[in-house]
A and B are shown apart, each in its own frame.
Chain A
């Protein structure tokens, strides 16, 4: 089992989510996060330029069985790029997942996902 965490642009969420559902990945968790990387956002307020330190992003967390790993990664890759790829499009982290338990039934492992 894998735990896939993707940090993407807020505005790409709809597209990524719709594509994941089309690809059969329907169990996801979405969180608002803030952070900084190489992207710089410029805001102009009352004529004054402001560069915020932390930029809002969206984090998608997906737990999946090993055979779905590539599908999830490819779907996010193809749909989270803005205008064919710009700085700030985000990152995907993949980790091994030790255990998964469904609270309702107590099932464990791959079938609980």
Chain B
């Protein structure tokens, strides 16, 4: 008797445990993915590589300003790491990759605040969602950091910190949601959505147009363009450009969110376009100007990298070369136009990132590989170049219009509340000494 009841009792005792075990299994039925260590390893590497771009950018910009502003300028990039680094984890990810709300204007998912709900999540791409969240977070950091170049040598540190925080919420988060969230309107436009592989619109056009808007809002540097403002350290700028090139492999190849053929394609196109951009810029300078300059080499690298950013997933090698060449030509001539017009986009954020971003996002349509068209034709019969070109143009136009208006509003608010522009005396003394109480090049001062 006793022997007979015991197993039954055991079974009964186990029942609630079995039910408990079944509940999470049911809840995760449609999200039951296994970690792929290869993909995860590459995404961890990519995330790290994109982070490397921030100090790379700091060096690139830091070398281009005058001696008295080198630390202040490098601090702008590092400020983005600090400010957006915190904001992203608290609510940025929820705003960008939560469910569409406010009629698709922005994403929101309360459970994603503090990255709360992803603690156990392995995504459908077979990587932990933590890696994906941090990877995307690096894009949110580098975008405002790029803007700093347009207003270098004259923006207050306090104003800059406040500006990027508000700008991230008002401009970056909605745009990122439109283009990259699975339910964003640009992501779903047409047969296969707006083609923006790694941020031609979200990162490059957005930072370029924001930079231009902010530069026009706060005005030119004292003495510009009459006074010469030569770069203090082009050696550092070249190292920065090199680090950006290296980091861009994570930026583009990581955007495949996998470790496979697509990743290899993106990496290859990135390399080729950057080289084509650099070569073109140096050739233009050799023919048109007296010298091939190191700044030209660095600018060409950037132009090529920016142009391939939206395209790395869809073009083949000839397309990558074409985009790199086109971007360098367009950027070079845009900078001549800037010099004629006389506005002070100090380190050519619009001239390089804005222009090459637009060139890449539009022109990529002409170089898409056949297999992409075949898949698009499967989804919408007769989908062709004209239709996709329209999608790309709408994406670019929407980005430019939204970014310009959003940036203007944010700049106005921060300017009235905190103040964006340093006083004339601080501008003359330099940001390093007056705002940070330090000097960038103490090695030249005996002590």
Contacts and interface: CB of A to CB of B under 8 A. Distances in A.
A43 B432 CA distance: 12
B441 to A, nearest CB: 10
B20 interface: no
Contact of A14 (B428, B444, B446): B428
B153 to A, nearest CB: 13
B431 to A, nearest CB: 12
A14 B227 CA distance: 9
Interface in A1-56: 10-12, 14-15, 32, 34, 43-45, 52-54, 56
B430 interface: yes
Interface residues of B, number: 15
Given A11-B428, A11-B429, A32 B438 contact: no
A43 B438 contact: yes
A56 B428 contact: no
A54 B446 CA distance: 7
Helix, strand, loop or mixed for chain A's interface?
Answer: mixed
A11 B447 contact: no
A80 to B, nearest CB: 12
Contact of B445 (A11, A44, A54): A54
A34 B433 contact: no
A44 B437 contact: yes
* Residue picked from B223, B429, B438, B444, most chain A C-beta under 10 Å: B429
Interface of A: 10-12, 14-15, 32, 34, 43-45, 52-54, 56
25 contacts: A10-B68, A10-B429, A11-B68, A11-B430, A11-B433, A12-B428, A14-B223, A14-B227, A14-B428, A15-B428, A32-B444, A32-B445, A34-B445, A34-B446, A34-B447, A43-B437, A44-B437, A45-B438, A52-B447, A53-B447, A54-B445, A54-B446, A54-B447, A56-B439, A56-B445
Which 10 pairs, one residue from A and one from B, show the smallest C-beta to C-beta distance?
A11-B429, A56-B445, A34-B446, A54-B447, A34-B445, A54-B446, A11-B428, A52-B447, A14-B428, A43-B437
Given A34-B446, A45-B438, A52-B447, 14 more contacts: A10-B429, A11-B429, A14-B223, A15-B428, A32-B444, A32-B445, A34-B445, A43-B437, A43-B438, A53-B447, A54-B445, A54-B446, A56-B439, A56-B445
